Amino acid sequence: MAKEFRQKIRQKNTDNSGFGDNASGRFINKNGLPNVNRKGVNVFNRFSWYHTMLELSTFNFLSYLVIAYILVNLFFALIYYLIGVEHLTGIDKSDPVSEFIDVFFFSSQTFTTVGYGRIAPVGFMASLVATFEAFLGLLTFAIATGLFYGRFSRPRAYLKFSDIALIAPFKNKTALMFRLAPYKNNSLTDADVIVSAAIEVIENSVPKSNFYTLKTQLSKINTLALNWTIVHQIDEDSPFFGFSDEDFKNTHIEIIVHVRAFDEVFSNTVVQRTSYVSDEIIYGAKFIPMYYPDKDNQSTVLNLDKMNHYQQADLPIFQEENE
């Protein structure tokens, strides 16, 4: 069965995907990141802390900052406490707890350079530590500044992809379709898309993945303001030529999508990727339009909630032309 199936695929596979025959599982995750685990090298060298910080959710990022802030102050509070509260003016010496509380707040007032002065260092050691802590505080906020800027100035495409791809009727033939649209107030131009497919075939009873580049009707547009429906016509040149509903269901298929555009605010190229696997492909359906003229006909409305709206559609009966 694998053999005849192989015959179905006429296009020769051209592997410039960067994934070898031996890779397994989904190649590109839904979020666009490659599905690869790295081993070896030690863990510290395996992560770019800057990439990590940029990819944290805002909530986590802020939480880490607050936690770090508390820990640093506890640490310095301890040091001041060990040096001795007598080296700090204005400490409430009623009991050890109030003492520690006061040195903790002195630490925070130093780290943030607010320095009220109600509590101030007098001895050499306390002053020295405070000198260093204030310096550290400023460097920390210098780094925080960089991270904040890095986070929100990071160019992103802000594209929404349809969750599903369709096998839809198209010009008396069938076509693989999915769509995408920008969902934020960014302005994208010069968009292009590269679509490739990974299809698992059985060769002498070992599964291996072949990669194919999928031709699309329109691979470049000037303005990406409305939704963009990517259409790959399933003709003789398509690896899916002659695929039945079952073929799509029973084969390990992955459609890898790579969109590139120019963001006019960042003045930078932005990239977003996603992929569709077999059970995200719906056979015999077509998308319902998601944009329409404004009531006053003076502008166009794009309804992003309709991204995944589709309806059943009959496909033309497939005819092997060599019959």
Interacting residues with a copy of itself between 263 and 302 (CB under 8 A) = 264-271, 273, 289, 291-294, 297-302
Burial zone of 156 (CB within 10 Å; 0-12 exposed, 13-18 middle, 19+ buried): middle
Q: What is the dihedral of CA 305, 308, 309, 315, to 10 degrees?
A: 160
Please pick, from the candidates 86, 304, 316, 318, the single residue that binds a copy of itself as defined by CB under 8 A.
Answer: 304
Nearer to a copy of itself, 134 or 313 (CB): 134
Assign 294 to helix, strand or coil.
coil
What residue ranges in 183-298 does DSSP mark as E strands? Answer: 188-203, 206-214, 220-224, 228-233, 253-263, 268-277, 281-283, 285-287, 291-293
Q: Is there a contact between 219 and 194 (Cβ–Cβ < 8 Å)? A: yes
Nearer to a copy of itself, 69 or 283 (CB): 69
Chain residues 51-70 in contact with a copy of itself, contact rule CB under 8 A: 51-52, 54-55, 65-66, 69
The verdict on 137 binding a copy of itself (CB under 8 A) reads yes
Binding residues for a copy of itself, rule CB under 8 A, total 127
Pairing of strands 228-233, 253-263: unpaired
DSSP class of residue 28 equals B
Least distance from C-beta 160 to a copy of itself, angstroms? 8
Piece of 76-84, 242-250, 305-313, 314-322 that binds a copy of itself (CB under 8 A): 305-313
Residues 6+ apart with CB under 8 A from 33: 273
Least distance from C-beta 234 to a copy of itself, angstroms? 22
Least distance from C-beta 3 to a copy of itself, angstroms? 23
Q: What is the dihedral of CA 275, 183, 223, 231, to 10 degrees?
A: 30
Structure tokens at 226: 């409305």
What CA–CA distance (Å, rounded) separates 82 from 129?
A: 12
The verdict on 20 binding a copy of itself (CB under 8 A) reads yes
The verdict on 13 binding a copy of itself (CB under 8 A) reads no
Please pick, from the candidates 60, 67, 86, 131, the single residue that binds a copy of itself as defined by CB under 8 A.
Answer: 131
Least distance from C-beta 42 to a copy of itself, angstroms? 10
Nearer to a copy of itself, 74 or 313 (CB): 74
The verdict on 12 binding a copy of itself (CB under 8 A) reads no
Assign 199 to helix, strand or coil.
strand
Chain residues 196-255 in contact with a copy of itself, contact rule CB under 8 A: 196, 218, 220-226, 228
